[in-house]
């Protein structure tokens, strides 16, 4: 998976989860979404740890924090930072690829369904 596609998957996965990844968010997550929450938390923590290593005076970490605080407003800034790192750091890209939600081989068979569900 190329960096652009991986960036899109990561950002698309995290954006709806950002309100729940904070300290109070965990209490709001029901059992049904617990696995998705755990997956998002692992993804977020991997990105947070990698952004913290950047020698940019904390700008990458700030981009992630801003994205966490307001995903719609700061999505583009976060996406650009993530894309650059995924292009230049193959080990980091592989870490994110191995995420079960992002790895097509590990996705639920139910998610492989191609036909739309029609409700009558």
The DSSP code sequence of 42-81 is HHHHHHHHHHHT-SSTTHHHHHHHHHHH-HHHHHHHHHHH
Domain ranges of the chain: 3-112
Query: Is the full-model pTM beyond 0.75?
Result: no
Write out pLDDT tens, residues 39-87: 788 889 999 999 999 999 999 999 999 998 898 899 999 999 999 999 9
Write out pLDDT tens, residues 76-112: 999 999 999 999 999 999 998 887 565 555 554 444 4
Burial of 19 per CB tally in 10 Å (0-12, 13-18, 19+)? middle
CB 3 within 8 A of CB 79: no
d(CA 78, CA 33): 24
């Amino acid at each position: 998976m190329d960096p652009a596609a991986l960036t899109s998957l990561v950002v698309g996965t995290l954006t709806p989860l950002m309100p729940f990844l904070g300290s109070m968010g965990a209490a709001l997550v029901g059992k049904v979404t617990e696995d998705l929450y755990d997956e998002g938390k692992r993804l977020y923590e991997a990105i947070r740890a990698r952004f913290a290593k950047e020698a940019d005076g904390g700008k990458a970490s700030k981009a992630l924090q801003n994205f966490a605080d307001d995903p719609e407003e700061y999505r583009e800034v976060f996406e650009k930072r993530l894309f650059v790192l995924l292009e230049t750091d193959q080990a980091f890209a592989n870490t994110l690829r191995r995420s079960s939600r992002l790895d097509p081989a590990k996705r639920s068979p139910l998610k492989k369904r191609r036909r739309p569900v029609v409700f009558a």
